[in-house]
Amino acid sequence: MALRPGGARLADFVRAVRMARTELAGALRLRTEELRGLQQQRLDTLVRHAVARSPFYRRLYQGLDTRSPDIVSLPTVTKAQLMANFDDWVTDRRLRLADLERHLDQLTGDQLYLGRYRAMASSGSTGHRGVFVYSRADWRVNLANFARINEELLDVHPRLPPRLRAASVAATSPLHISARTGLTTSVGVNRVLRLDARRPLPELAAALGTFQPESLLGFPSVLALLADEQREGRLELRPTKVVTFSEVRTPEMEQAIRTAWGVEPFNWYGITEGGVLASDCSHHQGMHLFEDLFLVENVDDQGRGVPDGVVGHKLLVTNLFNLTQPLIRYEISDMVALESSPCPCGRRLRRVTSIEGRNDDILRLPAARGGEVAIHPFTLRSPFAHLPELRQYKVVNELDGLRVLIVTRPVADRQQVARRVHHSMTTALADAGACPRALHVEVVEALAREEGHGAKFKLIESRVGARSA
């Protein structure tokens, strides 16, 4: 007899927790050589499965030795390339993009496609929307990793009544992987409040104040605003754990959270294509990559590996557990720095020590000496680091120049802050060799989040057309 949806969710959750405590439990403490062996074993299985079941990969790997391949011998793939070949990419011939798009259009909760697949979509903020599918077996691994993170790294465990109170302020659409993970773990173990990050700040503060979460999770941009509400006396929370995800977390956001609630916030690095890729531990010295489930290469713009401590141009990610949609050397535009030395916690997993945004956040601006100059996101963010009167900002590249939108604190002199932003930004751009056509600073009451189901907040946006680095 088939299980009802709620029963299937509970069964998958129980199996995932068991997997987290057995199959996945020891992987975070493996020695480096053991971890590399496990990665190769899982890569071999993935490649064999892809060649046998995916016409796209069979063509792509034609002529290559795929028995036990060196990862660097395999070609890279992009979201645009995979989506253009979607029906040949997936390993179940019943999965068709047109049918999945109709399913996504009607999705309201945790409904399964064909009774066995969870489908989600990336927000398309890089210019290409992606549709990603997990079988129930694939998804259980994602849930097991989520359970492992909470228990091993955050020291958060299911408990008897009173149940843990956890609140999330992020995306609530089931198309978004963080919301979908939340839906499928809603089996009554914890009391959970889920709030849409796009709701007005006073409404969010009121709901959280009533609920009083012990664990507070969400987009760093909105948690930083809520931290301001706390410091200014309009909110009173006492969370023991704070976790941010899905957006670049600037040092200013991190400090706001730390000051308001007296806790060191955790950070998760997640992707629609695989769930949580990395998380920090209680030492907060970088986010541990879950290398038993993902193989991650940090490369420059020519695809060459970069050393520890150097910010790469993009990542090549191989998801070692999703057999429905093989992702092998899949290009992600995030610019990060990695560290291989052991963490003080003793784990030998590499750590993400810096996330500088996406390579499509790099703006090409007129250069002072003619031509163009590439301006890194860090250069654009640095002028705001020492302006305590500033609450939020956004840099927009338009045809007629740069527009900087700022939200100030209520007691700040708006025009004075605007002048300081203009001066700091002008200096930073000049130091980087840029001479934009114009620089406008505009004080606004609030800044909107992205349209669509992702609900993220983008610090840097270009409206000039295609961006390249």
Using 50, 70 and 90 to split pLDDT, how confident is the model at 384?
A: confident
Show which of 297, 315, 347 is a domain's final residue: 347
How far apart (Å, rounded) are the C-alpha atoms in residues 150 and 343? 18
- 390, 257: one domain: no
Mean pLDDT of 261-271: 97
Residue pair 261/227 in contact by the 8 Å Cβ criterion:
yes
| Region of poorest pLDDT, from 375-379, 393-397, 465-469 | 465-469
Residue that wins the pLDDT comparison between 151 and 360: 151
How much is the pLDDT for 389?
A: 87
Overall domain count for the chain: 2
Residue 350 CB partners (closer than 8 Å, separation 6+): 288, 289, 291, 296, 338, 339, 340
How far apart (Å, rounded) are the C-alpha atoms in residues 220 and 51? 40
How much is the pLDDT for 152?
A: 94
Helices 5-21 and 177-184: crossing angle in degrees, nearest 10, is 100
Percent of the chain with pLDDT over 70: 96
How much is the pLDDT for 358?
A: 86
- 369, 239: one domain: no
Tokens at 51, concatenated: 């060649």
Using 50, 70 and 90 to split pLDDT, how confident is the model at 379?
A: confident
- 127, 266: one domain: yes
How much is the pLDDT for 135?
A: 96
How many Cα atoms are found within 13 Å in the side-chain-facing hemisphere of 61?
A: 28
CATH number at residue 451: 3.30.300.30
H helical segments located in 25-124: 32-53, 55-60, 79-84, 86-89, 97-105
Q: What is the pLDDT of residues 110-153, one digit of tens each?
A: 999 999 999 999 866 555 789 999 999 999 999 999 999 999 99
Element (H, E) at 211: helix 201-211
Residue that wins the pLDDT comparison between 186 and 164: 164
Per-chain mean pLDDT for the chain: 91
How much is the pLDDT for 123?
A: 66
- 256, 372: one domain: no
Using 50, 70 and 90 to split pLDDT, how confident is the model at 333?
A: very high
- 35, 158: one domain: yes
How much is the pLDDT for 40?
A: 97
Q: What is the pLDDT of residues 281-302, one digit of tens each?
A: 999 999 999 999 999 999 999 9
- 394, 283: one domain: no
Residue 357 placed within a domain: no
- 283, 367: one domain: no
Side chain identity at residue 28, one-letter code: L
- 9, 146: one domain: yes
Give the closest residue to 352 by CA, choosing from 284, 275, 272, 254.
Answer: 284
Say if residue 453's pLDDT is above 80: no
Which domain range does residue 398 map to? 362-462
Residue that wins the pLDDT comparison between 122 and 407: 407
- 15, 141: one domain: yes
- 380, 234: one domain: no
How far apart (Å, rounded) are the C-alpha atoms in residues 442 and 421? 10
Residue 92 has a CB neighbour count (10 Å cut-off) of 16
How much is the pLDDT for 455?
A: 77
Annotate 385-431 with DSSP letters as a single string.
TT-TTEEEEEEEEETTEEEEEEEE-TTS-HHHHHHHHHHHHHHHHHH
- 53, 193: one domain: yes
Say if residue 259's pLDDT is above 70: yes
How much is the pLDDT for 255?
A: 94
How far apart (Å, rounded) are the C-alpha atoms in residues 154 and 449? 28
How much is the pLDDT for 468?
A: 37
Side chain identity at residue 178, one-letter code: S
| Total count of residues recorded for the chain | 469
How much is the pLDDT for 125?
A: 54
Q: What share of the chain is helix, strand, coil (3-state, %, to 5)?
A: 35, 25, 40
Reduce the DSSP state of residue 120 to 3 states and report it.
strand
Q: What is the pLDDT of residues 425-444, one digit of tens each?
A: 999 999 989 998 899 999 99
Residue 299 placed within a domain: no
Give the closest residue to 345 by CA, choosing from 404, 389, 409, 285.
Answer: 285
How much is the pLDDT for 1?
A: 38
Residue pair 322/138 in contact by the 8 Å Cβ criterion:
yes
Percent of the chain with pLDDT over 90: 71
How much is the pLDDT for 137?
A: 95
- 277, 397: one domain: no
Residue 134 placed within a domain: yes
How much is the pLDDT for 161?
A: 82
